[in-house]
């Protein structure tokens, strides 16, 4: 008898509490989703970039600065074993450059612009990575005055297929 009366009295409070919680949830929901949209895409989505480079490579450092300016978190690994790194990540012999970077499992060889890396990470094609072979003057990290030599960024696959990913001039 006593117990039933207590339960009867307790119920309106419980309903009020549930109602309050729901109201808070409903009121807060748009705020939370709006905040998620406001967060810059660079902070929310760009993975950390690991850059392997030899101790003497200055243009590699300039490319790292370019990637940082674009919003990438960069971890530099200074090593003399660059050939082994390129081999490990499947960079074709005729596509090699100075540094080799890894972004979310993709290999990024040489002075590839940040915008190309971002498109790669967004579209996620079935390739091993991208390469800007050689040291094209005017590519990010290879600036020399106003001179810009046209260059191509290629994609490469495990099977050895090479395709044009972007043309720069
Ligand atoms: Cu270089």
pLDDT in tens, the chain (169 residues): 455 555 445 566 667 666 666 665 555 554 444 444 444 544 456 889 999 999 999 999 999 999 999 999 999 999 999 999 999 999 999 999 999 999 999 999 999 999 999 999 999 999 999 999 999 999 999 999 999 999 999 999 999 999 999 999 9
CA 34 to centroid of ligand 1, rounded, Å: 41
CA 112 to centroid of ligand 1, rounded, Å: 10
CA 59 to centroid of ligand 1, rounded, Å: 4
Fill in the DSSP letter of residue 156: E
Instruction: Please list all protein residues whose beta carbon sits less than 5 angstroms from ligand 1, which is an ion.
Output: 59, 98, 135
The rounded distance, in Å, linking the Cα atoms of 98 and 60 is 7
Which residue stretches of the chain are H helix? 2-38, 41-45, 58-69, 82-88, 114-123
CA 133 to centroid of ligand 1, rounded, Å: 10
Annotate 33-71 with b (16+ C-beta within 10 A) or e (fewer): eeeeeeeeeeeeebeebebbbeeebebbeebbebbeebe
CA 50 to centroid of ligand 1, rounded, Å: 16
- In whole angstroms, what separates CA 21 from the centre of its chain? 38
């Amino acid at each position: 008898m006593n117990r039933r009366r207590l339960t009867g009295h307790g119920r309106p409070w419980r309903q009020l509490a549930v109602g309050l919680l729901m109201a808070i949830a409903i009121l807060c929901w748009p705020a939370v989703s709006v905040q998620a949209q406001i967060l810059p895409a660079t902070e929310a989505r760009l993975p950390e970039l690991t850059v392997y480079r030899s101790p003497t490579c200055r243009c590699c450092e300039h490319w790292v600065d370019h990637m940082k300016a674009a919003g990438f978190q960069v971890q530099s690994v200074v090593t003399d074993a660059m050939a082994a790194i390129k081999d490990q990540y499947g960079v074709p012999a005729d596509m090699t450059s100075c540094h080799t970077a890894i972004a979310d499992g993709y290999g990024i060889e040489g002075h590839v612009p940040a915008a190309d890396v971002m498109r790669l990470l967004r579209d996620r094609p079935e390739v091993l990575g991208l390469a800007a072979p050689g040291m094209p003057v005017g590519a990010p990290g290879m600036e020399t005055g106003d001179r810009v030599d046209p260059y191509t960024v290629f994609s490469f696959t495990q099977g050895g297929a090479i395709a044009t990913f972007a043309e720069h001039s």
